[in-house]
A and B are shown apart, each in its own frame.
Chain A
Amino acid sequence: MATHAQAAAHDDHDHKPHGWRRWVFSTNHKDIGTMYLVFACTMFFVGGTMALVIRAELFQPGLQFVDPQFFNSMTAMHALVMIFGAIMPAWVGLANWMIPMQIGAPDMALPRLNNLSFWILPFAFTLLLGTLFVPGGAPAGGWTMYPPLALQGGDSFPMMIFAIHLMGASSILGAINVVVTIMNMRAPGMNLLKMPLFVWTWLITAYLLVAVMPVLAGAVTMLLTDHFFGTSFFAASGGGDPVMFQHIFWFFGHPEVYIMILPAFGVVSEIIPTFSRKPLFGYESMVYATAAIGFLSFIVWAHHMFTVGMPLAGQLFFMLATMLISVPTGVKIFNWCATMTRGSLSFEPPMLFALAFLFLFTIGGFSGLMLAIVPADFQYQDSYFVVAHFHYVLVPGSLFAIIGAVYYWLPKWVGRMYDQTLAKWHFWLSAIFVNVLFFPQHFLGLAGMPRRIPDYATQFADWNMVSSIGAFGFGFSQLLLPYIVIKCVKAGSKAADRPWDGAHGLEWELPSPAPFHSWETPPSAAIIARGAEH
């Protein structure tokens, strides 16, 4: 092992290109992974700034800072930037870095495609963010782009559509690459049921992406032709039906939310065993639960549109199917708790983020269950309660898992340990402020405050103020993340090859920092057996 590692470490100086070429023409999974993560972090702060514009305006009732049209642009753009610019690219970046190292492959299966799928993104987001500067302003009809409102967009409309086409192409290419890598590039002896859960969850996520991103592309293409070429898919004047857009959109949209959360399940399933110093409880049931969630995600979409006037049988079906999802989800939560039971726990930053994930994601799951109840949803639909629900599953859910993953694998990536005290500060500030920010939104929603409005009745003032304070606290705390990472890269102390004593998996068998080319010779059966102790 050591000799292999040294050989690889020696090798890489000769092959690593220098200067800008290294990045622009990169076909190396680690460099591309880094670029994805840096891109995601940048977009996270862009989208975060938009969120702070929203929360500043909502700090008090009345119109203070921005006009309503711009406010609406902020809600639509914040969502588009965070979903397609921050969360999804962050997961693809982590997949790039980790999947080859975890399955004993020298690189992704399709390295040049990999380069393409990353470099599409800057163009897509230049287009999307460019809408902020065109006459008529950025898209303001919500990230869900419902017609007929979305069709009324000005110059920003075609730009938004093309940006979505590009993002979609990028994630489809990325997903194809992930599937091919996992199916064909595993080291001999690394059979499917030995794969780490991060790889498993990404495999299922990638299939979801290939299945639904093209449907979104189709839906926005139909919007485009309705607007410019006189078709009437959704235009009622020509016999189209705007409700049909909602069906097609949510056929993509619901699997999309699982695309953002399944890899998080994978990450948490790696972190919790490591810091419990116990193998994961119920590995196989985790795999099957993930597959079940992936399957069920295709048959629940209409829970986003209970109020459009569906037949009773349809409402019942979608209500029950939605509730069914909480069964495999519950299996997972149970397994994580069982993994920790009688483990020897320690609370390093990755574990803290994983634990917060466990608690707060579950709160989001419960509010989701409330929303799944049709008569209750009639009340909650389009209120702040929905906003609270999806932020609980996405921020302390997906985002905390991403941050946890960065704190977990960073020592392996750069070969240096970060400042753990500071990272714990980052954790506590995030965990406290995220609740100050989003918990009051449950109350606001239950009391009847609608979402996507720049002004509100005065009885909502107090909780909005609390929520805005939480938002600014949360937003500024996140600046610690790039600071901690940069400080680690520049001046961290040397990290061991296995910086967490309970960590298992092939990535920890490599030296730290992971050499530019790893697993050029596949790991031996003994190493795989040691790594796959889950």
Chain B
Amino acid sequence: MTEPREQVKRENARLTARLALMALGSFAFGFALVPLYDVLCAVTGFGDQKSLARASEAAPQAADESRTVTVEFVADLPNVGSWEFRPVLTSMQVHPGKLYETRFVAKNLTGHDTVAQAVPSIAPGSVAGYFHKTECFCFTPQKFSQGEERVLPVRFIVDRALPKHLDRITLAYTFYDQSIRVGQR
């Protein structure tokens, strides 16, 4: 009588261990989704938005005068009151291939010296691979002293290979003050 009971107990323990392992695997899988997500974004043609935060090597190409693309600029802040942040121009008409420069203006109203980081994003997402920035204030954190106002330049080229059906691109920056923790925002 005890023999089969012991056997069942052993089998239960073995299956329990296997299921516990499966649960641990799922937990790990949740975290594995993080790198997987970036890879998927890059390969699905959705574009690698992270590339927008790096300098592009692309050299100016011959301008395609036959095409005009509207590039819109948006400036965002995660909270109100402690910064001023705006584009000098809200939109530009550009020819693919040509190098352009535009500017944003930021002012530190936090009342102390601080460092802020702009995070870019672009719409539609699939444009990310065709939007080259040779210079951008978002590549590095920006130091601001108390009350300082600064003009921040961006230089960019819209690739000539930009798919034909696209004639409007929106480039947005959110300006995050590094001294304000996520939880306080």
Contacts and interface: CB of A to CB of B under 8 A. Distances in A.
Interface string B91-128: 00000000000000000000000000101000111100
B37 A241 contact: yes
A214 B12 contact: no
A309 B78 contact: no
A110 to B, nearest CB: 6
Contact of B34 (A176, A228, A244): A244
Nearest to B183: A227
Interface residues of B, number: 40
A233 B34 CA distance: 8
A185 interface: yes
Interface string A368-382: 000000000000000
Contacts of A17: none
B12 A180 contact: yes
A179 B11 CA distance: 12
Interface in A286-319: 309-311, 313-314
A314 B44 contact: yes
A115 to B, nearest CB: 15
Contacts of A219: 30
Contact of A148 (B12, B16, B30, B185): B185
Contact of A210 (B22, B30, B124): B22
A151 B183 contact: yes
Contact of A176 (B19, B45, B49): B19
Contacts of B46: 310-311, 314
B24 interface: yes
Given A176-B16, A184-B12, A309 B125 contact: yes
Contact of A237 (B8, B33, B176): B176
Contacts of A213: 23, 26
A135 interface: no
Contact of B15 (A184, A233, A241): A184
Contacts of B49: 241
Chain B at the A interface: SS class: helix
Nearest to B32: A218
A176 B185 CA distance: 40
Interface string B30-62: 110110010000001110011001000000000
B174 A236 contact: yes
A248 B30 CA distance: 7
A215 B30 contact: yes
A212 interface: yes
B83 to A, nearest CB: 13
Nearest to B45: A311
A217 B27 contact: yes
Contacts of A241: 37, 49
A251 B182 contact: no
A185 B33 contact: no
A184 B31 CA distance: 32
Contacts of B15: 179-180, 183-184
B23 A151 contact: no
Contacts of B33: 215, 244, 247-248, 251
19 contacts: A110-B16, A113-B16, A183-B15, A210-B19, A211-B22, A213-B23, A215-B27, A218-B30, A219-B30, A222-B34, A226-B182, A230-B181, A230-B182, A237-B178, A241-B37, A241-B49, A247-B33, A314-B44, A314-B46
Given A214-B26, A230-B182, A311-B126, 14 more contacts: A110-B12, A148-B182, A148-B185, A210-B22, A211-B26, A215-B27, A215-B30, A217-B27, A218-B28, A228-B183, A237-B78, A237-B178, A237-B182, A241-B49
The 6 closest A-B CB pairs, nearest first, are A218-B30, A237-B176, A214-B27, A214-B26, A215-B30, A176-B19
